[in-house]
Structure 1
Amino acid sequence: MLRYTVRRVLQLVLVVWVLSVLIFAWLRSLPGGPVSALLGDRGTAETRAQLTEALGLDDPIFVQYLRFVGRALTGDFGTSTGVSPGKPAMDLFMERFPATIELSIAAVLIALVTAIPLGYVAARRRGGWLDNTGIVGSMIGISIPIFFLAFLLKYLISIKLGLLPTGGRQSATIDATRVTGFFVLDGLLTREWDAAWDALRHLFLPALALASIPFAVIFRITRASVLDVMDEDYVRTARSKGLAGRVIRDRHILRNAMLPVVTTVGLQTGALLSGAVLTETVFAWQGIGQALAIGFERKDFPVLQVVIIAAAMAYVLVNLLVDLSYAVIDPRIRTAQKGS
């Protein structure tokens, strides 16, 4: 198990290193280089020369890369030029990161608590109305664009019915105490129940929109995996022995069907940032997804650097946790690791 963990951590380090090389190369492949990207059409020959010297772009490329990595390791990605001009990119990221994590956790929870039970029940009642409805619903969830679903939910539930807020993380009239940056959790920790409830009402619609694709994928994988396990000999043997239905479900079906589901959950969790960009933009959710969209629009490369690197690290960390969870779910993996 220890060797397995070390190998996965080394793979994570390798992925992050490759990503740093790609981002470094991308910045220098921009039309006119970073100087033109930062100055735009306003730069004169003199200002371009000054900025080139200030950024160290006249040094050897290997020296520039080492400087880039050194600054990244200390959290120095430069100052925002478009999203929040004058603010250090790392500070801006740390301010907005809890918002995206809160939204992603809510979306994953919505997907998990609905998709796994529905996928299991649909598989047990294969061909029934619930199975057919779930299949149609999952196909719609996969095919409908997130930004369209977000606009649709916002229009129907917020604008037409007035049941939930149209955007933002919390009402401006709420005087809430900030502790962690997670607005719902902050309200619970400080016992400001009105602030927690208001933050939860703001959170629900964007989380529901963001959960559409994870729900659809997890439902279909759960259903297919449960169907495969139900046809295994050990499940039929357990039934012939007269074991209780709950024991068969928990120990024999769900436990063995969870491996592909865990893989899918990990991949979907890591990929939530791509959906968060659109969801946060529609609902004016001030997270890193919105910052990424604004950064591309305004060519804020310091912000783009930190967001892209952090998103990639979050993705590989999630997949590391998924790989390690295999050994907990499937005893055969633990045995294989001991043998190796």
Structure 2
Amino acid sequence: MLRYTVRRLLQLVLVLVVLSLLLFLWLRSLPGGPVTAMLGDRSTPDKRAELTSVLGLDQPLMVQYGKFLGRVAHGNFGQSTGVAPGDSAIGVFADRFPATVELAIGALLFALVFGIPLGYLAARRRGGWLDNAGVVTSLLGVAVPVFFLAFLLKYIFAVKLGWLPPSGRQSPDIDATRVTGFFVLDGLLTREWDASWDAVKHLILPSIALGTIPFAVIFRITRSSVLDVQNEDFIRTAEAKGLTNRTIRSRHILRNALLPVVTVTGLQVGALLAGAVLTEKVFAFPGLGEALSIAFTKKDYPVLQVLILASATTFVLVNMLVDLSYAVIDPRIRTS
């Protein structure tokens, strides 16, 4: 297991180095570049030349890339020019990261809590009404665009019915104590139950909108996997030995069927990070997705660098953890 973990860590480092190089080259190929973004309307040939020299953009690309890696290693991405002018780019990330994590956790919980049980029940009752309803719902979850579903949920449950808040992370009239930046957790730690519950209510609609595609994928994979596993020879052998249905379902069918589900769940983290841009925009949710949208619009290169690199790092780390968990579930993976 140790050798397998070390090999995955080395692969992770290589992937991050390649990602940083691609990010470095891509940002410098965008129209205008960081000099134009920083100077704005005050741009003149003399000022451009001076700032280009100060930033080291007149040096060879490999020298610039080396300095870029050095700044990344020290967490120095520069100051924001559009999202929060004057604030450090890493500070913008730190302020908004908890919001996106809460939203991603909410979406993933929605997908797992409903996707795995419904997928399992649909497979056990193949051809029944539950199976047909689940398949149709999963197809709708993939087919309906995230932004359209977000607007629809907001209009019905927030505007028309008034059951849930339409935007933000917490109501302005809530006097909450900030501890970690995670509003739900802060309310639990400080025993401010009203603040925690209010934060949960603000998470419900964006979590459902963001979690529909992961739900559909997890449902379909679970259903397909259970159908395959329950027809295997070792299931018939377990039944012939007289094992109870509960033991067969939990130890043999579910455990083996969850292997591909674990893998696809890790891959859905990338979909959550991508969908968060649209979801956060619709619900005015102040997370990384909204910051990324603003940074693109205003050409905030320092914030773009830290957000893209942090999102890619999160995605790679989660997939490494999925690989390790997969190896724990199925020891045969460790030899591959």
TM bucket, shorter chain: over 0.9
Q: Which amino acid aligns with 2:121?
A: V
Specify the alignment match of 2:89 in structure 1: 89
Q: Is it true that 1:300 corresponds to 2:300 in the alignment?
A: yes
Specify the alignment match of 1:51 in structure 2: 51
8 Å CA contact 1:270–1:318 kept in 2: the answer is no
**Separation (CA, whole Å) in 1 of partners of 2:70 and 2:154:** 44
Specify the alignment match of 2:250 in structure 1: 250
Specify the alignment match of 2:180 in structure 1: 180
TM-score (norm 2): 0.98
Specify the alignment match of 1:205 in structure 2: 205
Cα displacement (A) at 1:9? 0.7
Specify the alignment match of 1:219 in structure 2: 219
Write the deviation string for residues 264-308 of structure 1: whole angstroms up to 9, x where unpaired. Answer: 100002321100000001001100010000110111111000000
Summarize the Cα distance change of 1:61–1:331 in structure 2 as closer, same or farther, 3 Å threshold.
closer
Specify the alignment match of 2:232 in structure 1: 232
Specify the alignment match of 1:169 in structure 2: 169
Write the deviation string for residues 180-214 of structure 1: whole angstroms up to 9, x where unpaired. Answer: 11101110110001101111111111011111000
8 Å CA contact 2:138–2:219 kept in 1: the answer is yes
Write the deviation string for residues 115-153 of structure 1: whole angstroms up to 9, x where unpaired. Answer: 000000000000000000000000000010000000000
Specify the alignment match of 1:153 in structure 2: 153
TM-score (norm 1): 0.97
Identity %: 69
- List alignment gaps of at least 5 residues for structure 2: none
Q: Is it true that 1:136 corresponds to 2:143 in the alignment?
A: no
Cα displacement (A) at 1:41? 5.2
Cα displacement (A) at 1:33? 3.5
Q: Which amino acid aligns with 2:95?
A: E
Cα displacement (A) at 1:331? 3.3
**Separation (CA, whole Å) in 1 of partners of 2:12 and 2:331:** 24
Cα displacement (A) at 1:32? 4.1
Q: Which amino acid aligns with 1:249?
A: R
**Separation (CA, whole Å) in 2 of partners of 1:94 and 1:24:** 21
Matches for 1:62-141 after TM superposition, within 5 Å: 62-141=62-141
User: How many pairs align?
Assistant: 336
8 Å CA contact 2:37–2:81 kept in 1: the answer is no
Detail structure 1 runs of 4+ shifted over 6 Å in the superposition. Answer: none
**Separation (CA, whole Å) in 2 of partners of 1:27 and 1:106:** 32
**Separation (CA, whole Å) in 2 of partners of 1:39 and 1:25:** 21
Q: Which amino acid aligns with 2:308?
A: I
Specify the alignment match of 1:323 in structure 2: 323
8 Å CA contact 1:30–1:37 kept in 2: the answer is no
Cα displacement (A) at 1:6? 0.9
Look up the SS of the partner of 2:134 in the other structure.
helix
- List alignment gaps of at least 5 residues for structure 1: none
